[in-house]
Amino acid sequence: MFRKGFFILGIASLFSYSIEAQSHYPGQHHSKFVLHDQLSSPIQAFDLHQIRLLDGRFKENMLREQAWIKQLDTKRLLHSFRNNAGVYTANEGGYFAMKKYGGWESLDCDLRGHTTGHLLSGLALMYAQTGDDYYKLKADSLVKGLAEVQTALNQEGYLSAFPQELINRNLAGKSVWAPWYTLHKIYAGLIDQYLYCDSKQALSIAEKMGLWAYKKLQPVSPEQRRIMLRNEFGGINESFYNLYAITGKKEFQWLAEFFYHNETIDPLKEGKDVLDPKHANTFIPKLLGLTRNYEIVGKGDADTIAAFFWNTVINHHSFATGSNSDKEHFFKSDELSKHLSGYTGETCNVYNMLKLTRHLYTHTGDVKYADYYEKALFNHILGQQDPATGMVAYFLPMLAGAHKVYSTPENSFWCCVGSGFENHAKYGEGIYYHDANSVLVNLFISSELNWKEQNFSLKQETIFPQNGQTKFTITAAPTQPLGIKIRYPSWAKSVVVKLNGKVQKLKNLAGGYISLSQKWKVNDIIEVEFPMELSLKSTNDNANKVAIMYGPIVLAGKMGTAQMNSPAPYSDPSVYNDYYKYQYHIPADIITSLHLNPQNITSTIEKVPNEALTFKTKAEGIILQPLYNIHRERYVVYWDMIHE
């Protein structure tokens, strides 16, 4: 998100389908859609409900997310909506009896209500990921409350926690903090509720909201439109494309096209890197709406534009963690070493880049997209959550000696808190895909897949990235031959594959897939081992400013807790962007240089015996561990390399 009162470019959110078919992916083709995608994608995603996480770090994060979701009070979340409609009644305890949520959900914040939208999506995803009715029932109570508010407002379908005056200010080009961004989260959450949880009431609310928007925006002049689109409008275009595909109503197609932002997209058509100094999370989701339209119509230049944008961000604007931006903004191409601040790596940016990555992967099957997905998921999203509390970080600081700063249960509700409700509920999304005759394994995460259409089930057991070993067991087998394709990651230099204990002869498949195809039997076992090695990842603009990697995992130096704020490491930046005022108070004696031998890294870094994923520099004695595992402690990611 961005500061209140500034005009900036827009953001979005990826598509969601139903628990009965494709979800959060392109390629929808089931009965809940009047319009079916015309794009013929070579790769399809599995439904989230077909995948279950097994014990491991990702499931632990998901369980902590569940605990937090269960603590959130639906009445408190609905309070600002009811307050806006004037329907909060004494028999619910009265206005002063209701304890209000703070931060970006406070009644004086223009973004109030966005969390409820995110939570609707998070509950839908959690329901799909677990099958637990609790999450559907909790969402049903939110949907019912929103329907009551929409009826009480009686404004041609308008629904929000703030009055339409904020929309009017946006239309007039006046200072306002992103009303369409907030509405987008509500649209997206309601659509997810329909597609995952079969809530027809949620779809009805969203349709009424859409028809209100159509009537509201029909009279807007081209010049007025140009001005209003300079304010962050979220992924509203993508939500309208989704409503168009679900209902077939042309009003929603018109709305989606209305939010096409020429000032942002047109330069990309010409292959121009215009990212500096754009607000990153406003920019990224615009490509999602564009891509969603491409999937619906099956033609055009949108995929080329999105791929150019993706390559530009990944190759010229991203840190070793897969994250991007400094103080929420893109900076000049290939100037990473100049932007190692305490405000790098906004989590919402990664959330949206992963969504775009999934679209582009299914369009092409290119493994580079899966490689990036792994990097960003393990190094950023997995480590966003504080294991002690379940709270989440807005930024992933690259500043040497900084630490992660987490949200609070009552007084934050930033955008990255909202996207966090989704991030930790949908880990199953990126693990498996399929083509017509094969399962594709893209991530090494303990999980089970049930491809019921093929009568095929697969169990994956791994402690990756503690080592590069993964074991697959066939738990249900079809009568016909079926392919299993296992990603050969870009960081791997070799691989050993065993089928029922017998080593398989393989060609060099770097940058592709290990392909096994046969008539499988129950209890067939595939064992894969990718030896993991240390490597250095330098910034594009400074070969001697390096991050240390172990396979795809960023290792950071543990720097202790000296001079950390109390209660460390909370800041409670509850009002708008007070986190920019956060002071890290980094001790002057923090070590930021290492003696390293890039030609023989193990001569300068050694593995610590009997400690998982723990290394030590030989000269300085600095302990290195995965960045995702370092919490409530200072760390260093990028080092000044002293050549050995």
pLDDT digits 0-9 by tens, 119-174: 999 999 999 999 999 999 999 999 999 999 999 999 999 999 999 999 999 999 99
**Residues for the chain: how many in total?**
644
Bridge partners for 450 per DSSP: 457
Task: Kindly state whether residues 426 and 475 are assigned to the same domain.
Answer: no
CA-based nearest residue to 253, from 264, 263, 266, 242: 242
The pLDDT value recorded for residue 545 is 98
310 within some domain: yes
What does the alpha-carbon distance between residue 171 and residue 173 come to, in Å, rounded to a whole number? 5
* 436 three-class SS: coil
Residue holding tokens 């973004």? 111
Report the run of H or E that residue 367 belongs to, with start and end. helix 367-376
CA-based nearest residue to 636, from 405, 400, 403: 400
Q: CB–CB of 255/305 below 8 Å?
A: no
Tokens in use for 544?
A: 């001697």
266 within some domain: yes
Tokens in use for 622?
A: 């600095």
199 within some domain: yes
- Phi, psi of 196, deg, nearest 5: -90, -40
* Residues 213-239, mean pLDDT to the nearest whole number: 95
73 within some domain: yes
pLDDT value at 377 more than 80: yes
Report percent pLDDT > 90 for the chain: 86
131 within some domain: yes
What does the alpha-carbon distance between residue 138 and residue 135 come to, in Å, rounded to a whole number? 5
The pLDDT value recorded for residue 249 is 97
> In total, how many domains does the chain have?
3
Q: How many helices (H) and strands (E) does the chain have?
A: 17, 21
Over the stretch 272-320, which tens digit does the pLDDT of each residue have? 999 999 999 999 999 999 999 999 999 999 999 999 999 999 999 999 9
The pLDDT value recorded for residue 411 is 86
Of the three residues 407, 430, 453, the one that is the final residue of a domain is 430
DSSP 324: B
Task: Kindly state whether residues 370 and 412 are assigned to the same domain.
Answer: yes
State the amino acid at position 464 in one-letter form.
Answer: F
Over the stretch 378-388, which tens digit does the pLDDT of each residue have? 999 999 999 99
- Confidence class for position 184, pLDDT limits 50, 70, 90: very high
> CA geometry: angle at 287 spanning 399 and 22, to 5°?
105
For 454, residues 6+ apart whose C-beta sits below 8 A from its C-beta are: 478, 482
- Confidence class for position 90, pLDDT limits 50, 70, 90: low
The pLDDT value recorded for residue 26 is 44
Q: CB–CB of 107/100 below 8 Å?
A: yes
The pLDDT value recorded for residue 581 is 75
Over the stretch 592-642, which tens digit does the pLDDT of each residue have? 999 999 999 999 999 999 999 999 999 999 999 999 999 999 999 999 999
What does the alpha-carbon distance between residue 99 and residue 85 come to, in Å, rounded to a whole number? 18
The pLDDT value recorded for residue 15 is 34
For the stretch 164-171, contacts whose Cβ atoms lie closer than 8 Å and that sit 24 or more positions apart, written own/partner, are 166/110, 167/216, 170/228, 170/231, 171/220, 171/224, 171/228
CA-based nearest residue to 323, from 384, 407, 274: 384
13 within some domain: no
CATH number of residue 173's parent domain: 1.50.10.10
What does the alpha-carbon distance between residue 10 and residue 233 come to, in Å, rounded to a whole number? 5
Task: Kindly state whether residues 100 and 193 are assigned to the same domain.
Answer: yes
Task: Kindly state whether residues 349 and 485 are assigned to the same domain.
Answer: no
Mean residue pLDDT across the chain: 91
Q: CB–CB of 173/186 below 8 Å?
A: no
Report the run of H or E that residue 286 belongs to, with start and end. helix 280-297
CA-based nearest residue to 102, from 121, 118, 90, 115: 115
Q: CB–CB of 84/158 below 8 Å?
A: no
pLDDT value at 571 more than 60: no
pLDDT value at 591 more than 60: yes
Of the three residues 508, 529, 550, the one that is the final residue of a domain is 529
Task: Kindly state whether residues 284 and 388 are assigned to the same domain.
Answer: yes
Task: Kindly state whether residues 277 and 370 are assigned to the same domain.
Answer: yes
- Regarding predicted confidence, which is higher, 188 or 90? 188
Of the three residues 482, 501, 529, the one that is the final residue of a domain is 529
What does the alpha-carbon distance between residue 197 and residue 383 come to, in Å, rounded to a whole number? 29
- Phi, psi of 469, deg, nearest 5: -95, 140
Over the stretch 495-531, which tens digit does the pLDDT of each residue have? 999 999 999 998 767 669 999 999 999 999 999 999 9
The pLDDT value recorded for residue 543 is 97
The pLDDT value recorded for residue 8 is 27
The pLDDT value recorded for residue 94 is 55
State the amino acid at position 623 in one-letter form.
Answer: I
The pLDDT value recorded for residue 331 is 97
pLDDT value at 324 more than 90: yes
The pLDDT value recorded for residue 372 is 98
Tokens in use for 557?
A: 């130096």
Bridge partners for 471 per DSSP: 461, 527
Task: Kindly state whether residues 512 and 578 are assigned to the same domain.
Answer: no
Over the stretch 193-210, which tens digit does the pLDDT of each residue have? 999 999 999 999 999 999
The pLDDT value recorded for residue 88 is 72
20 within some domain: no
Task: Kindly state whether residues 282 and 423 are assigned to the same domain.
Answer: yes
Over the stretch 30-87, which tens digit does the pLDDT of each residue have? 678 899 899 989 999 999 999 999 999 999 999 999 999 999 999 999 999 999 999 8
Tokens in use for 602?
A: 């193990």
For 282, residues 6+ apart whose C-beta sits below 8 A from its C-beta are: 2, 8, 9, 10, 11, 232
Task: Kindly state whether residues 281 and 358 are assigned to the same domain.
Answer: yes
- Regarding predicted confidence, which is higher, 6 or 159? 159
pLDDT value at 19 more than 60: no
Residue 299 burial (10 A CB sphere; 0-12, 13-18, 19+): exposed
pLDDT value at 573 more than 90: no
The pLDDT value recorded for residue 14 is 33
| Residue numbers of the domain that contains 441 | 434-464+468-529
End-to-end CA distance of the chain: 43
- Confidence class for position 98, pLDDT limits 50, 70, 90: confident
Tokens in use for 49?
A: 């409900």
- Confidence class for position 99, pLDDT limits 50, 70, 90: confident
Task: Kindly state whether residues 484 and 606 are assigned to the same domain.
Answer: no
CATH number of residue 457's parent domain: 2.60.40.1180
Task: Kindly state whether residues 566 and 525 are assigned to the same domain.
Answer: no
Task: Kindly state whether residues 482 and 613 are assigned to the same domain.
Answer: no
Q: Where are the alpha helices (DSSP H) in 154-271?
A: 165-171, 179-197, 200-217, 222-228, 236-247, 250-258, 262-269
* Residues 547-561, mean pLDDT to the nearest whole number: 97
273 within some domain: yes
